[in-house]
Structure 1
Amino acid sequence: MYSIMIVDDESTVRRGLANFIPWHDLDCKIVYIAANGTDASEKLEVYKPDIVITDIKMPEMDGIELSKYIYLKYPSTKIIILTAYSDFSYAQSAIKYGVVDFVLKPTSFDKLIEAINKAKTIIENEKFKSLKINVLEDEISKTKEELRESFLLKVINRIITDTSTIFNKANSLEIKLDNYYAVVVEVASENNFEDLQKSKKVETEIYGLKNLISIVLKNNNHFIATINNKNLCIFINVNKNNSSLQTITDICNEIIHSVNKLININFILGVSSLKNNIEDINIAYEEALQAISTKFYIDKNIFIYTQHKSINDMDIIFSINTSFDNILKSVQSGEYDNASKNLKQLFEIYKNENVSISDTKNFSMLLFSYLLGLLPKNDSSFINHMPIGSKISQCKNIEEIYKILLFEINFVIAETNKANQYNHSLIDIINKYIEEHYNKELTLSSIAQHVHLNSSYLSRLYKSKTGQTLTEKIMKVRIDKAKELLLSTNLKVYEIASNVGIENTNYFSLLFKKYTSMYPKDFRTFHNCKI
């Protein structure tokens, strides 16, 4: 079972997480529940949890500080952060501390379960890597190629980090990498490997591809490591007199061309920058992996490493914020064409400025939350649409995110237009009801009951749409009716007061003077004299 530690300063949240998640069905058990980050940090050594689920804002030690502490002291422990929309940009600072996922408050149990399963998968993958490395090391019958691969995997996974150890081990295995590129091969998951399976030379798809690539690169000094069942990493030495990007691009094109002549398989390649030291194997691998991740933005076969720009670049942040403002203003104005145009410009910024994928997803989730905030407050679809926003983190390319946000823009504008039409109709109904019942006991509660709305919501809605409160509207109608009666009848003041729904004559007189600057008798005298 996976051990879980819950950290939150709100007792209701702690109880909810402890009691309403089917921990046993998830193969998990809660080992400790902490009320703050300090409490949690003191118990980590005792309970050694596999997964820590922590709130972001807490007294003494907040979720960011706790994440940093865990990252430095207990790197194998996985972290899930609970955060509100308003905390989201602050929560992003925890990404560098290896946070597995962020779950927005109010917490969706389905989303939290999804995050827990994600953490479990990462733990199992790490165990698999460790097991694989141990098995490779323990086998007495290893060939030199297997020993080389084991060594490369250890350096890639930072199991071996000491420079002298790397250098000496590489020499003993006759691995010479002094002017090289790392190339990560990623196989598309939908490939049909029927041709490979028919071949007697290979047992699995990825090993078959590995062997084919080795044949293609037989004239190049290279070393290959199998990362998992869909990724290889190739380290290719190039001539120091001919080590340009064009050289490695030509080699990559030759790999693609030659392999595709033999089997029908879709794969892409990510290329690192040129490296000159063998101890940079891990850096080269991570660069190639980052290069291949740009498939998120561009559809092609070969991706060359380019350093992502920091989201701390003030010019980029200013451009993104400006786009956010333009999109939200257009949505508020119901201008779909302008909103979609501004959204397209925002995504061009992400592409052209080479913004990291994680930052692009995080900003897109933030924009999604702002769009949800524009929905009418009584719109139940707010809850229904929250899971749609969570899908942004799972998108495989930028077009999928773009479609989600474009759909949401259209949805918010449509819902707002419907709400405005309904509200205008509702105001007319309320005004008619007041005109017909001004002479009776008329209260906010009775009007709300008539239109089947909550009193406080109705009060806010009426004021926002008309600029005056319901009480002011009722009194204005009553005073207007009183003026008519004063000028068109001989009724006494107390009779007129009663006819417009006010039983207290003194109160009526004061109210009348407040609205007309005259007492009722003076108003009648003044206007009769003018006639």
Structure 2
Amino acid sequence: MHRLLIVDDEPYIVDGLFELFAGLPHLELDVCRAYSPIEALEWLERARIDIVLTDIRMPLMNGIELQKKINRQWPRCKVIFLTGYDDFAYIQEALRNGIVDYVLKTEYDEAIVKSVEQAIHTLAGEMRSEQIVVEARAQMIHALPALQKEYLLGFLADEVPANRLDSGWLKELKIALNPEEPCMLVVGRVDRWEDGATYSDMGLLMYAVQNVAKEYFGNWRFQPVLADRKTFIWFIQTETATEGREEKTDSFVHGTLESVQATCRELLKLPISLAAGSSFVPFGKLPAAYVQLKKILNLGLGQANEMLLTDRWYAANDLQSDGDHRSGAGEPDREKWRKQISELEKCLENSQQEQFGKHLDQLQAAILTEPYRYGLLLESYYSVMTLLLSHLNEPGADLASAIDLDKLTRFDQHGSAAEAFRYLRVASEVLFDRKRDELDERTSWVTERINRYIAANLDQDLSLTKLSEQVYLNPTYLSRFYKQTMGIGLSDYIAEARVKKSMELLRDPKYKIHEIGAVVGYASAPYFTTFFKRMTQMTPQEYRDANR
């Protein structure tokens, strides 16, 4: 989905173009309106803008000046000038600044739509380059990423204090970061691999994802780390000082993450989820931010695919828990046992019930093979029990009604080792049931809040950006999440809500048709009539006459 901003100081032009593009669902546009250049600048700071359709001659700031500001804020944004003047001097300067097209206001709607379609095509083609995969293949055989990974993961695990980060080491390892400057952290994962993907395919695509992100953050300090086969971490810093414009840089990063996610989906056929900090923070706070972002990603929302979340959403929903719990490590000669415990922990964090059961069976089979070591048996039982208890024992949880704590925490309460492990499975089922309930609750909170806001604001701005601000989610992700969850697109839901309200009011003769149009967001009676007929195959008057 691309975001189109329409800018003109004549409201009837803005509203007319809004209705034009709102009636073209195949373009998949989130259409926003600005009735002045100042309002357009506000939009540029609120959300990523892909295409701007703007008048040239406006009070306070002309289109050329606006275009320059757009280029600084969103360099990939495509600008189309809509003008009533065939002014060669204006157009010549605009072309030098990189506009995509210009259309005269005297031309028909088809010319305007064609120009926007061309801009969409240009945006889609910019990242269609085989060079991404070529560079990824070369990067795979290079040893440097492994050294970078070891150093930076050690830092995030608090093994390398921030005040001991060696600039010389960073430079030698070609890590493009400055520990003296604030940094934004992003934690991402590949949600699923295509069936039949080989280990080599996965590695190649993981590097391709990093190259896509590097392309978008070309003018920034950008350092990727591949944490494991499907998880990655991005350190992002600006090349220049950001004092006084932190909100713009934060907005740019979050908007650019939308583009990275979309390109991975469309070009690489790879769904990825991203959790990002809401702002740049000092290097010393990155380890704590890393723990929180991992939890945000693991908590999930909706179908937990292609998520785009920030710690602001996390804080707003009061999802903090007492802290992270980690299992103890065994001796070096028990690497296989330690790995099994680690896999169980990952399954709990990622809500993978089936995989948890398989790993628990494997652990049980390995431990209970005769002759077994009683000490290792106890350590295994209590390690898994501690993992389960750490997830079950969250604030407000009524453990006593869900599980027999005495039986869970005491191995000697079971008649045999096999019986003890069966009870661990029972406890895990209670936990996974609770996780599903919590996921449903978080999902319902978002959809219900959105639906209530739409019902109460049918006459107001109901753009994706405005709606996303009500639930602290990324606009593009909100659109995808809502359709996955509710089975209907947001734009379709809004249109149906407006039609339903219109029908209700049309059955009451005391309301005039133009008044009803205004109540459901159509200040212009002709536009309301066009919308209503498109949705019902009847004009408002015909519907009123048929329901007297």
TM-score, normalising length: structure 1: 0.32
Which fold has the larger relative contact order, with Cα–Cα distance below 8 Å and residues 6 or more apart in sequence? 2
TM-score, normalising length: structure 2: 0.31
Structure with higher Rg: it is 1
